[in-house]
């Protein structure tokens, strides 16, 4: 699933190209009935036709097209969603599920192999996103926030990092990479994180996200930017999808474990496993 750097890369490209353009048309594939969740295709078109896209923003992993002050299209790529900016004369894209026609003759194409992506047309994006934590690249995110979010919690730190109510936009890739950078084992109880470790973890999260953004995000199978280009950050992963390969710091083989049903990769030498308490 695309995470913060991938969705933010799309947002920046879309926000450079779309503000000021009117929505002139909309099309939905009949074999994707679950994409548009709150209106029929005809109702959706009636609501958006003639609307101006004022900006494109992001909340956690949601991509939000603002259509004036009172309407927003909140989209989520889920596992395999892609968003392309095309001309009508451009070659057809595989797995096309929806299109928005725009006043300059271009179109936004939504492609999705597995058809898990969602569109919600709402007055307030929070109807869809619910409460989310601070953005990791924003001023509200700090070591103090990490200390407050982890205090007294026994859940593994990896699970806490994936909780969008605590920190917005992190997923498996960047949680694993940041924990490796900060030398913190993913199974460490969140409440055991010390202030120096919180500082390291904050710096690691920010650093890995900025580096990924500079590389256009990570591409494994499905993620491409709006021009159809793959990201490059997967070439610099330290632990994610590298189980069995040597750690770049100490050469110990990277290990994979499962935490709350999610894979977690780490270095067993650089990231010391927590000791179980005597009564555990």
Q: Tell me, what CATH number does 185's domain have? A: 1.10.8.50
pLDDT at 260: 92
255 forms beta bridges with 266
C-beta separation of 109 from 101 below 8 A: no
| 23 domain residue, yes or no | yes
| 255 domain residue, yes or no | yes
C-beta separation of 101 from 23 below 8 A: yes
Provide the domain count of the chain.
2
| 273 domain residue, yes or no | no
C-beta separation of 109 from 84 below 8 A: yes
For residue 90, what are the domain limits? 4-129
- State which of 129, 164, 184 marks the end of a domain: 129
Percent of all residues in the chain with a pLDDT value above 90, rounded to a whole number:
94
In the predicted model, what is the mean pLDDT of the chain? 95
**Mean pLDDT (whole number) for 147-156:** 96
pLDDT at 279: 37
| 272 domain residue, yes or no | no
Residues with a known catalytic role: 2-3, 61, 262
Helix axes 195-214, 4-17, angle to 10 degrees: 50
| 276 domain residue, yes or no | no
pLDDT at 248: 96
- State which of 69, 99, 129 marks the end of a domain: 129
In a shared domain, residues 124 and 188:
no
- State which of 100, 129, 158 marks the end of a domain: 129
In a shared domain, residues 257 and 212:
yes
pLDDT at 276: 63
In a shared domain, residues 113 and 158:
no
In a shared domain, residues 112 and 24:
yes
pLDDT at 277: 45
Confidence of residue 273 (pLDDT cuts 50, 70, 90): confident
Structure pTM? Answer: 0.94
Give the three-state DSSP class for 85.
strand
Percent of all residues in the chain with a pLDDT value above 70, rounded to a whole number:
98
C-beta separation of 143 from 198 below 8 A: yes
C-beta separation of 121 from 105 below 8 A: no
**Mean pLDDT (whole number) for 59-87:** 96
pLDDT at 115: 94
26 forms beta bridges with 100
Summarize pLDDT for 226-260 with one digit per residue, the tens.
Answer: 999 999 999 999 999 999 999 999 999 999 999 99
Q: Indicate whether 133 pLDDT > 80.
A: yes
In a shared domain, residues 122 and 150:
no
Q: Indicate whether 123 pLDDT > 50.
A: yes
**How are beta strands 96-102 and 62-66 bridged, if at all?**
unpaired
**Mean pLDDT (whole number) for 191-219:** 97
**Mean pLDDT (whole number) for 30-46:** 94
| 278 domain residue, yes or no | no
* Spatial distance between the Cα atoms of 97 and 255, rounded to a whole number of angstroms: 38
Q: Indicate whether 280 pLDDT > 50.
A: no
In a shared domain, residues 31 and 75:
yes
Residue whose C-alpha is closest to residue 193's, from 237, 236, 150, 224: 150
| 33 domain residue, yes or no | yes
In a shared domain, residues 90 and 176:
no
Q: Among the listed ranges 31-40, 146-155, 156-165, which one has the minimum average pLDDT value?
A: 31-40
Cα 218 versus chain centre, distance:
11
Which letter does DSSP use for residue 137 in this model?
Answer: T
Q: Among the listed ranges 68-82, 168-182, 262-276, which one has the minimum average pLDDT value?
A: 262-276
In a shared domain, residues 222 and 166:
yes
In a shared domain, residues 164 and 253:
yes
CA separation, residue 144 to residues 58, 197, 203, 238 (Å): 24, 11, 12, 26
In a shared domain, residues 76 and 17:
yes
In a shared domain, residues 29 and 69:
yes
Q: What is the CATH number of the domain that holds 112?
A: 3.20.190.10
In a shared domain, residues 178 and 119:
no
**Mean pLDDT (whole number) for 65-93:** 96
């Amino acid at each position: 699933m695309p995470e913060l750097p991938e969705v933010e890369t799309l947002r920046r490209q879309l926000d450079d190209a779309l503000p000021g353009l009117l929505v002139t048309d909309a099309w939905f594939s009949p074999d994707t009935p679950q994409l548009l969740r709150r209106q029929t295709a005809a109702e959706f078109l009636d609501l958006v036709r003639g609307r101006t896209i004022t900006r494109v923003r992001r909340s956690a992993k949601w991509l939000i097209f603002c259509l004036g002050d009172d309407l927003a299209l909140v989209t989520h790529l889920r596992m395999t969603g892609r968003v392309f900016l095309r001309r009508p004369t451009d070659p057809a894209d595989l797995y096309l599920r929806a299109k928005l026609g725009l006043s300059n003759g271009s179109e936004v194409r939504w492609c999705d192999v597995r058809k898990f992506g969602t569109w919600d047309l709402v007055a307030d994006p929070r109807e869809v996103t619910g409460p989310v934590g601070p953005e990791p690249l924003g001023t509200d995110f700090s070591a103090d926030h990490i200390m407050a979010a982890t205090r007294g919690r026994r859940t593994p730190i990896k699970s806490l990092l994936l909780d969008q109510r605590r920190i917005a936009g992190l997923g498996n890739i960047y949680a694993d990479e940041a924990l490796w950078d900060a030398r913190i084992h993913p199974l460490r109880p969140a409440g055991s994180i010390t202030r120096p470790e919180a500082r390291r973890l904050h710096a690691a999260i920010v650093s890995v996200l900025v580096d990924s953004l500079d590389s256009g995000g990570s591409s494994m199978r499905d993620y491409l930017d709006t021009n159809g280009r793959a990201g490059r950050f997967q070439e610099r992963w330290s632990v994610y999808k590298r189980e069995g390969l040597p750690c770049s710091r100490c050469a110990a083989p990277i290990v994979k474990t499962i935490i709350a049903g999610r894979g977690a990769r780490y270095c067993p030498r650089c990231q010391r496993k927590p000791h179980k308490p005597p009564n555990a």
